[in-house]
Structure 1
Amino acid sequence: MLDASLRRLIDPPLNSAGVRLGRLGMPATAVTLAGFAVGVASFPFLAAQMYGWALLCIGLNRLADGLDGAIARARGPTDLGGYLDITLDFLFYAGVPVAFAFGRPEFALHAAVLVFSFVGTMASFLAFAIIAAKRGITTAERGAKAIYYLGGLAEGTETIIFLALACLLPDLFGWLAGVFAAMCWITTGSRIAQAVLTFRDE
């Protein structure tokens, strides 16, 4: 919901940094892999209830996710880079609630419901992108991307806010997970509806 508006604020500094890193020969894929590694490093911190360190790793992961796209725009995107960016992002997102549940088993059910809701947003997102690519449908509303980015109530910005709140207010994880799961299902429903409207000509 907030991604398109936020991009107008964050794209200029990210693109500037991406140009500089690109000129230095930094591959976008290397930033993607490094960001994923840092993101995964948050998992043991979450399991150990060391939420400050976990939040730092999550923040660095999200920063890398912005930088790799900026570098790709500066140097030229690749199919492998786009694939790794999406795949590793989704693995990271799903891993956070699981890692949280290891540290706080009383929230395991909430984490399971949240991961289930992620399946809905991810599947509806990727399925739309596949058919959109087949039909040559494109959009740049959320910046130049490797695949079609279909929006919704729960996008990247909202996910970052949720992850940050989970680290800052871990005792409220159950409520936070419930609210965000509901947002994810609204997003999934809206994406399915958009797919029906876009692809129903057959």
Structure 2
Amino acid sequence: MLDRYVIPIIKKPLEQGARCCIQRGISANQVTIASFAIGLLAIPALWQHYYLLALVFIVFNRIGDGLDGAIARQTQTTDAGGFLDICLDFLFYALIPLGFLLAEPEQNGLYAALLIVSFVGTGSSFLAFASVAAKHKIDNPIYQHKSLYYMAGITEGTETIGFFIAFCLWPNAFPTLATVFAILCFMTTANRIWAGYHTISKSEFNDVKQTLNKWSPDEDL
């Protein structure tokens, strides 16, 4: 929901960082993998209750996630790179609630599980629509720089990093914050399913209509 407002603000710093990386021969895929590895360090930090240290790893991971895309746009955007990026992103998102579960199993277990399930909803609706949208050549007017069709929702990257920061700053409030975030994710999933279904149905109808308009009875004579 907030990505469309935040992206223009961070675009210039990311582009400057991307130019520095390119000058040093650092590729987008290298940044993707390195930032994911850094993000993984947040899990043991959370497990051991080093929440502020975990926050540092999370922030560096998210900076890297923006930087790899900026590098790709200044060099060469590839579907393989986009695939790698989105897979590692979704895996990272699911691992953070796991870290809080490991930190306080009795307090956080149920809420971490709820949050991970909600991530499955947002991720599956995102990827399912992206695959069908590509098949029907549905344009993405909002996030044209994305390798996959980026279907907007209430919870996007900005909201996710915001809640992750809140989790680390107020770990005792994780159950409440996770519940709120999960509800927002479920709302996003429902909206994407509804909007995605109607968008695809409309595209299929238009495809059939165009086919019928091109067909002429004289062609069979």
What's the TM-score bracket when you normalise by the shorter of the two chains?
over 0.9
Question: Deviations 1:67-105 (Å, cap 9, x if unpaired)?
Answer: 000000001111221111000000000000011111111
Pick which of 129-138 and 29-38 moved more: 129-138
Pick which of 26-35 and 78-87 moved more: 78-87
Pick which of 189-198 and 153-162 moved more: 189-198
2:91 is the alignment partner of 1:91: yes
How far off its partner does 1:19 sit? 2.6
Letter in 1 for 2:156: E
How far off its partner does 1:20 sit? 3.0
Q: Residue 139 of structure 1 contacts residue 149 of structure 1 at CA under 8 Å; is this kept in 2?
A: yes
Indicate the residue corresponding to 2:64 in structure 1.
Answer: 64
Letter in 1 for 2:78: T
Q: Tell me the TM-score normalised to structure 2 length.
A: 0.89
Aligned-partner Cα distance in 2 for 1:95–1:150: 23
Structure 2, unmatched stretches of 5+, are 205-221
Structure 1, unmatched stretches of 5+, are none
Identical residues among aligned pairs (%): 47
Backbone CA RMSD of aligned residues: 1.1
Computing the radius of gyration over CA atoms, which structure comes out larger, 1 or 2?
2
How far off its partner does 1:23 sit? 3.2
Question: Deviations 1:171-195 (Å, cap 9, x if unpaired)?
Answer: 0000000000000001001101111
Q: Tell me the TM-score normalised to structure 1 length.
A: 0.97
Question: Deviations 1:20-73 (Å, cap 9, x if unpaired)?
Answer: 322332110000000000000000000111001000000000000010000000
What pairs with 1:22-37 in structure 2 (closer than 5 Å)?
A: 22-37=22-37
2:166 is the alignment partner of 1:165: yes
Secondary structure of the 2:41 match is helix
The count of corresponding residues between Structure 1 and Structure 2 is 202
How far off its partner does 1:143 sit? 4.9
